[in-house]
Structure 1
Amino acid sequence: MEEILIKNANKAVRNTGKQNLRSIHAKMAGKPRKADKRLQVISLLWNYAKDKLDWPIGDNPTKGIDHYGKQREFEPWPDWMIGKLSEAPDTVRTAAELILGTGQRPNAAISMEHRRFSGDWMEVLDEKGGEYFETYCPKDLRDYLSSRELKGKHVLAKNLTEPLGYDAVEKSFRRWRNNLGETAKPYVLHGLRKLAIIRLAEAGCTDAEIQAVTNQSPEMVAYYRKKASRKALSKAAQHRRT
């Protein structure tokens, strides 16, 4: 409600249109649960104003806009798709390197500033808590960033002061992914964060070590550790057949 108030306090409620709300919902597609919740809050406020306060504002404009609903699990990228990153556009590869190296959610990784990197260390954002915390920066990511030309204060820069933004990166990613064929279509940018966690688990990191990188809950760490363990066990089992 506070976000809605900040952006719309000086606007007339009756001018809110379905087309505008549909556009807002689509722009938030990268965070489908948040996008759906935005529509739900607007719907509740609209109904209260119309039915309880008797405001003459007409029909609820959120009616008929399809919600994203419950999302399927984001699958970690397969090795063959990671291998294709060397041929990807700079925007896509850089975003992928940032997500994999930092373990952050895509939006936070894509918005990173150069000042967040200092030698062997980096400051990453816990989006849920809204706070930065310091963690070790892997050498692969340090080497990749040092090979790129600085074009602004952000790693993925739109201009000297602004980041490129999630929507622009996601569109570039989808174009690249579509060229990889049907087998690539199930995978999204968020799957790289899952892969980062699984790689840490496969490397033998403890739950505490993984949490120090990703700042996730113990339950989420345990879930992805189980997934990593299953892969390792299946590999060992299949090798015994040969």
Structure 2
Amino acid sequence: MVREADRKYLSKVTPNWRVYYYFRRGSTYVRLPDNPDSPEFDQEYWAIRSGRKRKPVKTSFNALIESYYQSPRFTRLRESTQAEYRRALEAIREKNGTKDFARLRRRDVIAARDAHAGTWRKANAMVETISILARHAIDLEWITDNPARGVEKLTGGEYEPWPEWAQRAYERYCEEHGLTIELTAYHLGVGTGQRIGDVCKMEWDHFDGDYMSVVQEKTDTRIWIYCPRKLKDYLGLLPKSGKFILSKNLTAPMAKRRIQARVMKVREAIGAEKYVIHGWRYTAAMELAEAGCSDSESRAVTGHKSLDMVRKYRSRARQKRLSKKAQERRG
């Protein structure tokens, strides 16, 4: 068996901590089996190197994705956004790597979407990712039209604020089972109204006892959020175990996906699978609206760039108040 280090033209990439091997020489870029110590890996590697295997087309998914990774459109993205794109792109490459992207048709995009119809957000993300690749292929003059343009998105609902029963059940379950990480993430998410990625990056030095300083990852804007009494009281009693409030160790924060996985277990335990972690942000928006906050006041907490979401929850809160007023008149 030939050692990995002795194999010429062997390329290894590790998106999302998973290792992929490719034979890469000039315009030849071919995915290899996952296990570099297996006989199948050697057979495939030497078949390509010796020329017995047909060279892949120059307009393959493999070539397009690698070209996109080198493009300004990709390199200008924030590191966290690049990681998300890589996960989606590598999933596409795993199934279609050697196929000719230039032969992709609208029906193929629809089929890829419908393959994930059970999870509408994933289905729509598939269309969006293919569209990103298509725009890059147009820039390379591989194709002249985007086959994903105009493909209908699936609908399946939207992020919802957590109802009172789900919040109380979540808090109670975490307290009864000593789930400090899960409970801390919840209090920070609902108390500050920030995205979970921003919550994970909150440091103790960002909290002065009243305000939490946050640079929002999505907007790259620094905001100062006055913390409600419930959050301040909770943080005042929380032991410090590192630089970050949600600490993995002394110097690093817990990863967003790790927090999401832990929260999911609690949601399943209390029967709240319907209510996702991003709903904490909308729980804060709804509570602000119900408290009678103006659009500007609500935006000062959540940091929403657009007024659409703020107006949505203000309208919902107003409808609830008017419903109560109307029904009380009946009495």
Length-normalised TM-score, structure 1: 0.74
Alignment of 1:1-242 (within 5 A): 1-2=71-72, 4-5=74-75, 17-18=93-94, 37-38=128-129, 40-42=131-133, 44-45=135-136, 51=142, 72-84=157-169, 85-88=171-174, 89-181=179-271, 184-216=272-304, 217-240=306-329
Question: 1:211-239 deviations in whole A, cap 9, x for unaligned?
Answer: 21122222321111001112222334444
Structure 1 residue identity aligned to 2:180 = D
Identity %: 35
Gaps of 5+ in 1: 9-15, 22-28, 53-67
Q: Per the alignment, do residues 100 and 4 of structure 1 end up closer, same or farther by CA in structure 2, a change over 3 Å counting?
A: same
Q: Which moved more, 1:158-167 or 1:118-127?
A: 118-127
Q: Secondary structure at the match of 1:179?
A: helix
Report the CA distance shift for 1:241/1:72 in structure 2 as closer, same or farther (over 3 A): same
AA aligned to 2:276 is V
Bigger relative CO (Cα 8 Å, ≥ 6 apart): 1
Q: How far did 1:130 drift?
A: 0.7
Does the 8 Å contact 1:156/1:163 carry over to 2? Answer: yes
Q: Under a length normalisation based on structure 2, what TM-score does the superposition of the two structures give? A: 0.56
Amino acid of the residue matched to residue 136 of structure 1? Y
Structure 2 stretches lacking a partner, 5+ long: 1-70, 77-81, 84-91, 98-118, 144-152
How far residue 172 of structure 1 moved from its aligned partner, in angstroms, is 0.8
State the match for 1:63 in structure 2.
none
Cα gap change, 1:18 to 1:154, in 2 (>3 Å):
same
Q: Tell me the distance in 2 between the aligned counterparts of 1:160 and 1:20.
A: 42
Q: Which amino acid aligns with 1:223?
A: K
Give the residue type in structure 2 aligned to 1:191.
G
Residue 56 of structure 1 corresponds to none
Identify if the C-alpha distance between structure 1 residues 170 and 152 changes in structure 2 by more than 3 Å, giving closer, same or farther.
same
Query: Are the counterparts in 1 of residues 181 and 246 from structure 2 also a CA contact under 8 Å?
Result: yes
Please report the RMSD computed on the Cα atoms of aligned residues, expressed in angstroms: 3.5
Q: Partner of 2:162: helix, strand, or coil?
A: coil
Over 3 Å off, 4+ runs? 1-8, 31-40, 42-52, 68-71, 235-242
Paired residues in the alignment total 215
3-state SS of 1:118 partner = coil
Please tell me whether Structure 1 or Structure 2 has the larger radius of gyration of its CA atoms. Answer: 2
1:65-115 Cα offsets, whole Å, 9 max, x none, are xxx965631011010011111322222211111111111112212321111
Q: CA deviation at 1:207?
A: 1.6
Change (3 A) 1:129 1:5: closer
For structure 1, which segment, 37-46 or 88-97, has the greater mean C-alpha deviation from structure 2 after superposition?
Answer: 37-46
